[in-house]
Amino acid sequence: MATISSTTCLTLADWAARREDGEIADIVNLLSQTNEILDDMLWKMGNLATGNKTTVRTGLPAATWRMLNYGVPRAKSTTAQITDSCGMLETYSLVDKDLANLEGDVAAFRLSEDMAFIEGMNQQMAGTLFYGTEQSDLPAFTGLAPRYSTVDATKAANAVNVIDAGGRGTSNTSMWLTCWGPTTMFGIFPKGRIAGLQRNDVTTDAPVLDANGNPYQAYQSHYKWDCGLTVRDWRYGVRIANIDVDSLTGDSAANLISMLVAAVHKIPTMPRGVTNVQTATQATGGQPLSWGRPAIYVNRTLGTALDLQALNKTNVLLQMLEWDGKPVTAFRGIPIRTCDQILNTEETVQ
């Protein structure tokens, strides 16, 4: 039996606040966000019960210029294995049965609460995709920022894919270019489990306990999302870090275009044409290409700056295109997607 308090369950005042003209109100969710990375990601079942193990090649065999009457030494490639863990994001909602029954339409009343839980979990998931780290939050999974965390090539091989925009202090943000694909990077869920956010009605006749340990009947919903992130080939992700949002002007926004050009050229096999990425992806029905389905992720601050740059008709690299049936700003045919979970308060990446 669960022990709960008035801070974790709905009250009669909450019930009254959700009614208009005798019916359940259409709640305006002022806390909702846009995190389009959740729409774009490719998901695959992991090959482990707790995540996914990836084998990557770390060295190529060396050949030898042979002379007549001389042999050559044998050679082999080298590999390494990387294990990515999944996290278990879970929560419960509780509604007193008598409180829900006041409405008459119990399902509609519970749905009004379900939507808040789903939005909250989406935001937490998107934030973890960028900033999650198992070192500081053991139950979570490691996101993109801890994987692309330095511009110093002596500290990490993938530092070459972290571009320094020059900002210092703690008023920085990042732009991300990622290529979602089965051989590049994708979301994972544990082997044998169900993908995506699950909501289950776990209401039973067994009572729950209030803060004083006294039982009462309640409707209960269980929300669960087992998920993680695998970066199989770090070359297909680029971070433009240290973008100082406090000094973002028209001129510095134009510099973002130069850095996006540099980012695109770090992807090993991406087409270089202005619309190649868009038309090639559309030709597959939106499915990832062999090298991945690319997208650029920014928060609203950078998204606004790039949209203003797109108004400059001499800027042929930024265009307004249609992507998945919606108008979007695109760079070389790569959609620029909004993620509110990308912070404007990142510390300097060194």
Band of the pLDDT at 160, cuts 50, 70, 90? very high
* Per-residue pLDDT, 32: 67
Residue 278, domain member (yes or no):
yes
101, containing H or E segment: helix 97-101
Band of the pLDDT at 194, cuts 50, 70, 90? confident
Does the pLDDT of residue 293 top 70, yes or no?
yes
- Share the mean pLDDT of the chain: 82
| Number of structural domains the chain divides into | 1
- How is residue 4 annotated by DSSP? -
**Cβ count near 265 (within 10 Å):** 11
Q: What is the DSSP secondary-structure string of 20-79?
A: ETTEE-----TT---BTHHHH--EEE-SSSSEEEEEEEEEPPPP--PPTT--------EE
Query: 301-326 burial, b if ≥16 CB within 10 A, otherwise e?
Result: ebbebbeebbeeeeeebbbebebeee
Q: Kindly report, residue by residue over 255-273, the tens digit of the pLDDT.
A: 888 999 999 999 988 754 4
Residue 347, domain member (yes or no):
no
Could you tell me the sign of the dihedral formed by the alpha carbons of 126, 127, 131, 132, in that order? Answer: negative
Q: Is 268 helix (H, G, I), strand (E, B) or coil?
A: coil
Does the pLDDT of residue 25 top 60, yes or no?
no
Mean pLDDT of 196-213: 86
189 and 45 in contact (C-beta within 8 Å)?
yes
Question: Quick one: which of 306, 296, 305, 299 has its CA closest to 342?
Answer: 299
Could you tell me the sign of the dihedral formed by the alpha carbons of 341, 279, 332, 348, in that order? Answer: positive
Residue 97, domain member (yes or no):
yes
Q: Kindly report, residue by residue over 95-147, the tens digit of the pLDDT.
A: 888 888 887 788 888 888 888 888 999 999 999 999 999 877 778 999 999 99
Rounded distance, CA 222 to CA 91, Å?
6
The CA-to-CA distance between both ends of the chain, in Å, stands at: 49
* Per-residue pLDDT, 228: 95
Mean pLDDT of 84-98: 90
Instruction: Please give the share of the chain, as a percent, with pLDDT higher than 70.
Output: 82
Residue 72, domain member (yes or no):
no
Band of the pLDDT at 80, cuts 50, 70, 90? confident
Q: Among 3-7, 62-66, 215-219, whose mean pLDDT is lowest? A: 3-7
**Cβ count near 329 (within 10 Å):** 21
Residue 348, domain member (yes or no):
no
Mean pLDDT of 273-296: 56
Mean pLDDT of 203-211: 84
* Per-residue pLDDT, 131: 96
Q: Which domain covers residue 237, as residue numbers?
A: 12-56+82-154+161-338
Q: Kindly report, residue by residue over 28-50, the tens digit of the pLDDT.
A: 444 468 899 998 888 999 999 99
207 and 259 in contact (C-beta within 8 Å)?
no
Task: Find tokens 């109100």 and name the residue.
Answer: 25
Residue 334, domain member (yes or no):
yes
CA distances from 233 to 37, 68, 79, 162, 272 (A): 18, 40, 13, 14, 20
Instruction: Please give the share of the chain, as a percent, with pLDDT higher than 90.
Output: 40
Residue 118, domain member (yes or no):
yes
* Per-residue pLDDT, 125: 94
* Per-residue pLDDT, 16: 44
Residue 171, domain member (yes or no):
yes
